[in-house]
């Protein structure tokens, strides 16, 4: 016994299920036409039953609710919670996923869904879908703990430790991360650390049964059976039906020889109808000790059947389950099955003493003496400080051709070699690291030493062309072709060089020369088609590429070019079809997948872009462009943690390319990775010490950190290196604004606007004017700008909002009406217009809000506007319905929660209203203005 197992701590009695099914069928029969009002009544009854512990009744009423209104988010969410409590795990998962699909915020389901995934053994799914970014701060420690548990059960101790550490930092008084950490250490064989964590958990959570159960589990592993029994008794004193503690207590008593007392625990579990393989195993042990072979066999078989029926992912992460399975299979003579469980155990915990001993016993029985080899490999992989483990890991990496390690070995070899080939390879390596000067020097040395070395010549020509040294690039390419006039590859290469330096006519002549000699020469055909696409000669390119496919069906390069052609020709559906085919038939070229991601992103199809990026990264994880695209897709989907991980890998792959490092750094900053962004800047500045964008980013990073002296130093460097440029002026304005120096910020933004008259710069100037208390000036700026650009929707919207803020209601109404006329199908704009009309007590507010809801029925803010307007107009039930929807879709909004608190109080649900009001006060996005909270407390009597 070394770990908790609780897939069905309080399962519903089997006899209750047919009755429940019959009741559900009866309750759903003969219903009147469905209406939201009936659904609301069923839901309120279900909620009350749930609060009283009547889970079966709550389930029935929730089914009735969904029958009436399948779009009610609250019903799907509560159904998931009820089903999770009664042990209907798949049903709970379906309910939660439906809630998310319909728009419930992940804040509402994060913790129960994470617990559910662990119970189902779906650790990867938990890690992929449950991240702390965008979650409420109060939820983050528990979610980090769940993620740490998933990492630990997957064998990734490093990430698990980090997750637990992050959880403890966010909530130092929580026992949960210490509990999970203790079990992780126990699986890793670090029992002293496990005991320390478990003991700390009992100090922080003396009233938590799970803390005492965990300590008891650790003490049992340390063979302190008496201490284990005592700890489990403390857990049971807090919750006598804590299944894991009851099982742990029985194990401890058995080990102490107190078999009669252990039998009492096992009898209670049977009385409660708990199906637990560990209990079956202990009953088999007791039967064996009593000499009852038949009963022992029955119980061993029962244990095996229970374990084998569980999801493989769950069993693979639960050490006591696997040990019970291995021991039971061994007792029944199923040696191969026992071997499978033990291999899994030793994969997760190579120090597991009993597992090693049992596996050794099985190996002797089956005469499989080579079984020690994989065990040893696993042990070495899990102990990185061991000298043999380091050696073997290095060997495995070399056998798997791990490129970073291979590159390192190659650089060492090149440094010790005096041959032209070694110098050439050193040059390639240095170019890969971004050390162009040194790399070119070595390539020129190698080429001079051996002019017949085409590899050196080609790389030199390409590098010179990339750097804009056209004459040198062309000279080398022509020299190679003169030396090898019949080499079609080199003639095609010459065409590429001409194309790179802008000589399209020369490039076309070279490609046509190749095809005249060999019409089937594929690279030249693709290159010539690319030139046609660039010049919009679509029919010629399509004909050529289609003919090429007759020679080689499903050629990925040709399919990719066809996709590019079709997109340029305005046929996106056909472009996607060609790119998908190109991606399906190969696993080397990321271009088709990247093209699909770019297209979906351009169309704001975030889910499709992320799905495509994940699939591409699964096939081609070592490509820079792939990791960057994956990071961008994660960011667009709001998954910042996963974005940072992808960008971290992209950083490694980008090496010393300054532009790439700055691009990654900006994305890291967007994802909250300040230290990672700083590292990107340093790598960029190593390659280009005066790079403008790197210096701008460096200033922004110091601004995010808040160290005034470092901000000034970074800004001073930027201004000295790039005085008067638009990026420098904007950055200067940002720094002044952040310090409350609004006049200075205005000067900088105005100077930038003079050089780059753009809406984004005007809005920065207006923001500084408003912050400086000069609303009239801000209005003048916007009025002047919108007169010149009457169709600029962004500036018109800003004008309306500033007019509203200044109390100029009629003017704001007119400006908003202009924006609505320009974008009548923009739900956000229509909703804002409805809110303005409500403030003006205009009867058209409801109609405008209804239009906004029709345009965006799943938008939280739009639902909030609709609900708040209805509430203010006396429709309490309608208002409450829309405000519940809004809150479930965006629980981080204090404004929405404040509105819901009003609605609940008006409906007589004062306790729930208090909870919502408290949540509104602690929300990341607090209500504005703040005095609304004080007024709410007074009006609601809270």
Please report how many Cα atoms fall inside a 13 Å half-sphere around the Cα of residue 24, on the Cβ side.
16
First CA to last CA distance, the chain: 50
pLDDT tens per residue across span 753-766? 999 899 989 999 99
Mean pLDDT of the chain: 82
- Looking at per-residue confidence, does 446 or 543 come out higher? 543
Average pLDDT, stretch 781-794? 89
For 469-493, write each residue's pLDDT tens digit: 888 888 888 888 888 888 888 888 8
What was the pLDDT predicted at 932?
Answer: 56
pLDDT tens readout for residues 591-627: 999 999 998 887 767 788 999 999 999 999 989 999 9
Q: What is the mean pLDDT of residues 904-911?
A: 86
- Which of 30-39, 68-77, 402-411, 929-938 ranks highest by mean pLDDT? 68-77
Helical H segments across 7-156, by residue range: 16-28, 36-52, 55-68, 73-85, 89-102, 106-120, 123-129, 140-153
In which band, very low, low, confident or very high, does the pLDDT at 112 lie, cut at 50, 70 and 90?
Answer: very high
CB burial class (10 A; 0-12, 13-18, 19+) of residue 469?
A: middle
Q: Which residue has the higher pLDDT, 415 or 394?
A: 415
pLDDT given at position 226: 94
Q: How do residues 627-680 score in pLDDT, each as one tens digit?
A: 999 999 998 887 889 999 999 999 998 876 788 999 999 999 999 999 999 999
Residue found by looking up tokens 């096939």 in the block = 619
> Angle between the 36-52 and 55-68 helix axes, to the nearest 10 degrees?
170
Domains 724-823 and 854-942 share a fold: yes
Short-list 328, 335, 334, CA closest to 362: 335
- What was the pLDDT predicted at 2? 37
- Whether 661 and 694 have beta carbons less than 8 Å apart is answered as yes
The residue ranges of every structural domain in the chain are: 724-823, 854-942
pLDDT tens column, 44-62: 898 899 888 788 888 898 9
Mean pLDDT, to the nearest integer, of 278-300?
86
Domain 724-823 indexed as CATH 1.25.40.10: yes
Q: pTM of whole model > 0.75?
A: no
State yes or no: pLDDT of 107 exceeds 90. Answer: no
- Residues forming beta bridges with residue 893, ordered by sequence position: 925
- Residue 526 reports pLDDT greater than 70: yes
SS3 937: helix
Mean pLDDT of 53-80: 89
For the chain, the residue count is 942
Question: Which whole number is the average pLDDT over 559-578?
Answer: 91
Q: Please tell me the predicted confidence (pLDDT) of residue 381.
A: 57
Looking at residue 431, its pLDDT comes to 60
| Residue-wise pLDDT tens digits, 815-833 | 888 888 888 888 888 998 8
Q: How confident is the model at residue 3 (pLDDT cuts 50, 70, 90)?
A: very low
DSSP state of 367: T
pLDDT band at 461 (very low <50, low <70, confident <90, very high): confident
What pLDDT does 371 receive? Answer: 57
Which tokens is 500 given? 């790179």
Is 1.10.287.610 the CATH classification of the domain at 854-942?
no
CB atoms within 10 A of CB 516: 10
Which residue matches tokens 């590859």? 489
Does the bond joining 58 to the residue before it have cis omega, within 30 degrees of 0?
Answer: no
Name which of 156-160, 228-232, 678-682 the model is least confident about. 156-160
Quote the DSSP letter at residue 874. T
């Amino acid at each position: 016994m070394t770990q908790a197992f609780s897939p069905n701590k309080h399962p519903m009695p089997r006899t209750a299920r047919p009755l429940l099914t019959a009741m559900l069928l009866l309750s759903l029969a003969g219903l009147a036409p469905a209406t939201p009002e009936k659904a609301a009544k069923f839901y309120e009854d279900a909620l009350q039953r749930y609060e009283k512990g009547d889970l079966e009744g709550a389930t029935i009423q929730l089914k009735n609710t969904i029958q009436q209104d399948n779009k009610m988010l609250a019903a799907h969410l509560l159904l998931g919670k009820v089903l999770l409590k009664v042990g209907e795990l798949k049903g709970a998962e379906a309910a939660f996923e439906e809630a998310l699909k319909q728009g419930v915020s992940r804040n509402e389901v994060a913790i129960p869904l994470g617990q559910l995934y662990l119970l189902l053994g779906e650790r990867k799914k938990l890690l992929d879908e449950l991240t702390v970014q965008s979650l409420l701060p109060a939820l983050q420690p528990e979610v980090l703990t769940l993620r740490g548990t998933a990492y630990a059960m997957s064998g990734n101790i490093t990430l698990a430790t980090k997750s637990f550490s992050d959880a403890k930092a966010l909530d130092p008084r929580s026992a949960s991360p210490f509990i999970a950490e203790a079990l992780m250490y126990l699986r890793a064989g670090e029992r002293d650390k496990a005991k320390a964590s478990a003991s700390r958990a009992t100090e922080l959570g003396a009233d938590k049964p799970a803390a005492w159960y965990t300590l008891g589990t650790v003490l049992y592993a340390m063979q302190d059976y008496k201490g284990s029994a005592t700890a489990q008794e403390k857990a049971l004193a807090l919750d006598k039906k804590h299944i894991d503690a009851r099982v742990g207590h029985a194990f401890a008593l058995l080990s102490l020889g107190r078999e009669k007392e252990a039998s009492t625990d096992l009898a209670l579990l049977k009385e409660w109808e708990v199906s637990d393989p560990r209990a079956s195993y202990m009953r088999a042990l007791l039967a064996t000790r009593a000499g009852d072979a038949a009963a022992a066999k029955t119980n061993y078989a029962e244990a095996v059947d229970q374990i084998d029926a569980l999801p493989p992912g769950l069993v693979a992460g639960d050490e006591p389950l696997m040990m019970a399975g291995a021991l039971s299979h061994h007792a029944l003579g199923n040696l191969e099955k026992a071997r499978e469980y033990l291999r899994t155990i030793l994969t997760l915990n190579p120090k597991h003493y009993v597992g090693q001993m049992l596996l050794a016993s099985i190996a002797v029985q089956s005469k499989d003496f080579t079984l020690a080899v994989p065990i040893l490999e696993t042990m070495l992989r899990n102990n990185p400080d061991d000298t043999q483990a380091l050696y073997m890991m290095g060997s495995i990496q070399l056998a798997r051709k791990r490129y970073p390690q291979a590159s390192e070995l190659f650089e060492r070899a090149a440094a010790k070699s005096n041959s032209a080939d070694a110098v050439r390879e050193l040059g390639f390596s240095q170019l890969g690291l971004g050390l162009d000067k040194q790399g070119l020097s070595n390539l020129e040395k190698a080429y001079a030493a051996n002019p017949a070395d085409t590899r050196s010549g080609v790389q030199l020509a390409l590098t010179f062309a990339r750097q804009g040294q056209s004459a040198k690039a062309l000279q080398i390419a022509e020299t190679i072709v003169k030396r090898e006039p019949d080499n079609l590859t080199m003639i095609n290469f010459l065409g590429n060089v001409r194309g790179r330096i802008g000589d399209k006519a020369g490039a076309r002549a070279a490609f046509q020369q190749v095809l005249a000699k060999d019409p089937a020469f594929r690279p030249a055909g693709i290159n010539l088609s690319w030139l046609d696409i660039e010049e919009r000669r679509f029919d010629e390119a399509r004909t050529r590429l289609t003919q090429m496919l007759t020679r080689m069906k499903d050629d990925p390069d040709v399919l990719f070019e066809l996709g590019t052609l079709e997109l340029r020709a305005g046929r996106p559906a056909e472009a996607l079809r060609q790119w998908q085919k190109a991606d399906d038939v190969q696993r080397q070229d990321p271009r088709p997948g990247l093209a699909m991601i770019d297209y979906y992103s351009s169309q704001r199809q975030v889910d499709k872009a992320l799905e495509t990026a994940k699939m591409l990264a699964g096939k081609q994880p070592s490509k820079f462009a792939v990791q960057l695209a994956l990071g961008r897709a994660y960011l667009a989907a709001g998954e910042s943690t996963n974005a940072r991980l992808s960008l971290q890998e992209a950083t490694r792959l980008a090496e010393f390319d300054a532009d790439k490092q700055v691009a990654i750094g900006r994305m890291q900053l967007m994802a909250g990775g300040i230290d990672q962004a700083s590292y990107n800047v340093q790598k960029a500045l190593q390659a280009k010490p005066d790079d403008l964008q790197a210096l701008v980013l460096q200033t922004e990073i110091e601004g995010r950190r808040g160290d005034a002296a470092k901000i000034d130093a970074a800004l001073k460097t930027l201004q000295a290196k790039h005085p008067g440029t638009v990026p420098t002026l904007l950055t200067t304005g940002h720094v002044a604004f952040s310090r409350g120096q609004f006049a200075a910020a205005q000067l900088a933004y105005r100077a930038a606007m003079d050089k780059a008259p753009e809406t984004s710069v005007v809005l920065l100037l207006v923001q500084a004017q408003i912050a400086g208390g000069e609303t009239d000036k801000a209005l003048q700026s916007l009025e002047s700008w919108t007169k010149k650009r009457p169709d600029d929707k962004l500036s018109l919207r800003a004008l309306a909002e500033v007019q509203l803020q200044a109390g100029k209601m009629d003017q704001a109404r007119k400006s908003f009406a202009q924006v609505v006329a320009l974008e009548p199908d923009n739900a956000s704009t229509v909703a804002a217009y409805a809110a303005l009309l409500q403030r003006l007590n205009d009867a058209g507010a409801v109609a405008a809000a209804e239009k906004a809801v029709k345009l965006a029925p799943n938008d939280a803010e739009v639902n909030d506007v609709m609900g708040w307007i209805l509430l203010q107009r006396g429709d309490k039930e309608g208002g409450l319905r829309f405000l519940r929807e809004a809150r479930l879709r965006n629980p981080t909004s204090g404004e929405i929660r404040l509105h819901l608190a009003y609605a609940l109080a008006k409906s007589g649900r004062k306790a729930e209203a208090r909870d919502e009001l408290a949540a509104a006060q602690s929300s990341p996005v607090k209500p504005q203005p703040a005095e609304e909270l004080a007024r709410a407390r007074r009006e609601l009597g809270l």
